[in-house]
C-alpha cells in the first residue's frame, strides 16, 4: 500500500467494465467514500484552492450530492442540490444536456440571494455536459460560479474545453 494519502484514495476507486452500457469503463467511487481517511483527504483537496471564497456549495444529482454535502460541511457553508428533472417541487430553471451515456435535464430551486458565490462540485468530469449545464443554470438565476471542482476527470473526453477550468484531484 502507498503511503501517499491521495494515491491511496485513488487506488480505492473500482473499475467496472461495460457499465452502465457496453464500452463504458465505469469508475466507482463507493469504496473511496466508505474509507474515512480517504474521504477526508479528497474533500480537503477539493476545497484547498477555494478557501472561504464561496458562500454555498452546489452539487449535481446524484453522486455530486455526496461530494457537495461533505465539502459544504467541511467548509462551514450550506449546500444546494441541482436535481434531475421532475424531482423538485419548486424548480426555478432547467437546462438539458448530453451525457457520455444518454441525455438529461437538470433543475434548481432558487432560495439564494442574487449574486451568491457558488462552488460547483461533482464526482466525475467526463464530456463536461453536466457541469456546463449546471454553470448555465446558476448563471441564468443570477449567481456566480466562483469555482468548479471534481474528484476525477476522464481527460480523453475533453470536459475542460466545455466547462473549464475545473479543479481536479484525479486525472485518468
Ligand atoms: O461530464 P459528463 O459527460 O456530463 O458526465 C459526468 C456526469 O455523469 C455522471 O452522472 P450521471 O448523470 O450518470 O448521474 P448519477 O450521479 O445519478 O449516477 C457523473 O456523476 C457526472 O455528473
Ligand atoms: N466512466 C464513468 N465512470 C463513472 N462516472 C461517470 N460519469 C460519466 N462517465 C463516467
pLDDT band at 1 (very low <50, low <70, confident <90, very high): low
pLDDT of 3 reads: 85
Q: Which CA distances in Å does 144 have to 112, 113, 155? A: 11, 11, 26
pLDDT band at 2 (very low <50, low <70, confident <90, very high): confident
* pTM > 0.90: yes
What three-state secondary structure class fits 157?
A: helix
Q: What is the pLDDT of residues 10-47, one digit of tens each?
A: 999 999 999 999 999 999 999 999 999 999 999 999 99
8 CA → ligand 1 middle, Å: 24
138 CA → ligand 1 middle, Å: 18
**Residue written as grid cell 485518468:** 172
ipTM: 0.98
60 lines ligand 2 (CB under 6 A): no
Angle at 39 between CA 36 and CA 42, to 5 degrees: 150
Amino acid at each position: 500500500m502507498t503511503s501517499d494519502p491521495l494515491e491511496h484514495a485513488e487506488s480505492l476507486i473500482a473499475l467496472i467494465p461495460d457499465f452502465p452500457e457496453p464500452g463504458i469503463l465505469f469508475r466507482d467511487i463507493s469504496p473511496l467514500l466508505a474509507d474515512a481517511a480517504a474521504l477526508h483527504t479528497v474533500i480537503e483537496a477539493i476545497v484547498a484552492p477555494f478557501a472561504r471564497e464561496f458562500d454555498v456549495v452546489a452539487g449535481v444529482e446524484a453522486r455530486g450530492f455526496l461530494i457537495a454535502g461533505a465539502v459544504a460541511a467541511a467548509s462551514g457553508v450550506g449546500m444546494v442540490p441541482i436535481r434531475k428533472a421532475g424531482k423538485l417541487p419548486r424548480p426555478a430553471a432547467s437546462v438539458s444536456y448530453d451525457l457520455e451515456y444518454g441525455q438529461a435535464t437538470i433543475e434548481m430551486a432558487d432560495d439564494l440571494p442574487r449574486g451568491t458565490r457558488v462552488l460547483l462540485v461533482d464526482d466525475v468530469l467526463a464530456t463536461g455536459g453536466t457541469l456546463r449545464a449546471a454553470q448555465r443554470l446558476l448563471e441564468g438565476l443570477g449567481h456566480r460560479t466562483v469555482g468548479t471542482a471534481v474528484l476525477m476527470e476522464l481527460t480523453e473526453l475533453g470536459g475542460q474545453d466545455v466547462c473549464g477550468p475545473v479543479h481536479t484531484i484525479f486525472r485518468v
